[in-house]
Structure 1
Amino acid sequence: MAKTHFTVTVPSIPGHVGGSITCTEPAPQVYLLTLNSPPDNRLTPPMCAALLEALDRVEFGGLLPGGTPEGVLVTTSAIPKFYSNGLDLQLAMSTPGFTENSLYPLFRRFLTFPMPTIALINGHCFAGGLMLAMHHDYRVFSGGDRGYMAVNELEFGAPLLPPMAGIFREKLRPDVYRELALEARRFGGKEALAAGIVDALGGLGAGDDGEGVLKLVREKGLVAKGKMGVYGMLKQEMYRGQVALLDARGQDVVKAPALMEAEKKRKHEGALKVKAKL
């Protein structure tokens, strides 16, 4: 039976019931964070803050043997249908500083976490949810024939901001990024594996078949990768371009309204140019 270490509360806010993030240890030095914020684990400011707290408690809260970052961090969902449905767009746009103060620090923390990280994707993983999963080192899809991964900004008319798009450029083939961004293609598990979006299929792997996360951990020797204390530093160098995008502040932060306004201006000026020549 998995050992339970702690639970972090996700406070409720208007329109979102809140929930919890529970840390268990289903295998030695494999720390599983289970997200449970119904109905679909939206990345609200409280959810981002709770995840950051959970990461701090794993790294600095005395769980790690000898205080060294030996082990593997896994995230998954207690909600069968969803890993995460991404942002609440209205909330994100109406919350001052949401991206640079909540979302991007969370992405950066996962991207440079000092031990291997695995997203165990159990159901739908859309937009910001897929971005969160992509900031992990590995992804395992356990939804079987149910559940899709997609970047569906095209379908609801939102631009991809540089720190959101950058992780796909860093980790995926150009043709796969094109299908995600410009076709809004929904990838099932097998298609995602073939495309390199996920690294394996299966569940946690605690049963007799041994498939999934724990198999990946064993085959790659992931538990010991952080023991020398440089794993996070190596990732920070490997993904320095994405880290720089996530660290942008002040005038360097690109916001969706500014992009939309620039596009509106471009169309207006183009129409005037053509009209002047008619």
Structure 2
Amino acid sequence: MPYLTVTDDAAELYLGTEGVELDEKNPENRFGREWMAKVADLTDEAIAAKKPLIISATGKFFTNGLDTDYIFSGAEPLPTYLDAVHALYAKVVTAATPTIAAINGHAFGAGAMLALCADYRIMRADRGFWSLPEAALNMPFPRGMAGLLRTRIPDATLTEAMLTSRRYGAADAVAGGIIEEAVDADRLLERAREVARERASFAGDNLGAVKRALRLPLLEDLNAPTPATLL
């Protein structure tokens, strides 16, 4: 399960399990219900500590997105599950503290979109792709996800990403405006910590208010219930 490490500089949220490179139960850091609840709780903990929030992971994946095993199990209606994903996005995108995504590996689908919820995004240069595979998988984008993507990525890049499911390496992701920086793997977390230190003074309720005002149309999309007719 995700865990939080708090230092003088930042609260570092890791999307995997402490002490292992890969969680055997969730090696791709997919969006299970308990996993999402834990990420939400740890985000609240970072905000309460008034620390910048760095979101990263260990192993091959940043996160591979939706928990397809859970979806296909029929444990709950798909629209209800997607509403929970959107609620997590809304929490991160309006967090009353600076947020930095340190993308350590593959970020696909809903996981690629979680990275976009951060204020600033850094990706390791040598390995990993950012991708929206939905078109290739014959899956639509619900309103909340589409709204997030429109807000965070330039239109030309987004059109290509959504319609072709292209996989972007770090250099291409910078060129396309998906991320701000690509750095060597051994510099990924330290660079994220540098950005956290630069922005630490902004942590607090006012920053949350500024983000909510900035993202008001997006929040309307994320808060809109997903219709049962989506699929």
TM-score (norm 2): 0.87
Where do 5+ consecutive residues of structure 1 fail to align?
A: 1-19, 261-278
What SS class does the counterpart of residue 2 from structure 2 fall into? Answer: strand
Q: Displacement of 1:90 after TM fit?
A: 5.1
| Aligned pairs for 1:1-278 within 5 A | 20-26=1-7, 28-36=8-16, 37=23, 38-60=26-48, 64=49, 69=50, 71-78=51-58, 80-89=59-68, 91-92=70-71, 94=74, 95-96=76-77, 97-100=80-83, 102-142=84-124, 144-202=125-183, 203=185, 205=187, 212-218=191-197, 221-227=198-204, 229-249=205-225, 253-255=226-228, 258-260=229-231
Offset from partner CA, 1:176-216 (integer Å, 9 cap, x none):
10111011111000110111111112357489xx6x21233
- The letter for the 1-side match of 2:43 is L
Q: Displacement of 1:124 after TM fit?
A: 0.5
Highest RCO, 1 vs 2 (Cα 8 Å, sep ≥ 6): 2
- The letter for the 2-side match of 1:33 is L
Offset from partner CA, 1:62-103 (integer Å, 9 cap, x none):
xx2xxxx3x31011112x210000002352363231122x21
Q: Displacement of 1:25 after TM fit?
A: 3.0
Where do 5+ consecutive residues of structure 2 fail to align?
A: 17-22
Q: Does the 8 A contact of 2:15 with 2:29 survive in 1? A: yes
- The letter for the 2-side match of 1:241 is P
RMSD over equivalenced CA pairs, Å: 2.0
Q: Displacement of 1:217 after TM fit?
A: 3.2
Q: Does the 8 A contact of 2:123 with 2:188 survive in 1? A: no
The alignment of Structure 1 onto Structure 2 pairs a total of residues equal to 218
Counting aligned pairs with the same residue, the percent is: 27
What SS class does the counterpart of residue 12 from structure 2 fall into? Answer: strand
Question: Which structure has the larger Rg?
Answer: 1
- The letter for the 1-side match of 2:119 is D
Q: C-alpha separation between the residues in 1 aligned to 2:170 and 2:188?
A: 20
Q: C-alpha separation between the residues in 1 aligned to 2:207 and 2:127?
A: 34
Q: C-alpha separation between the residues in 2 aligned to 1:114 and 1:205?
A: 26
- More divergent stretch after superposition (172-181 vs 32-41): 32-41
Q: Displacement of 1:49 after TM fit?
A: 0.7
Q: 1:206 to 1:138 in 2, by over 3 A?
A: closer
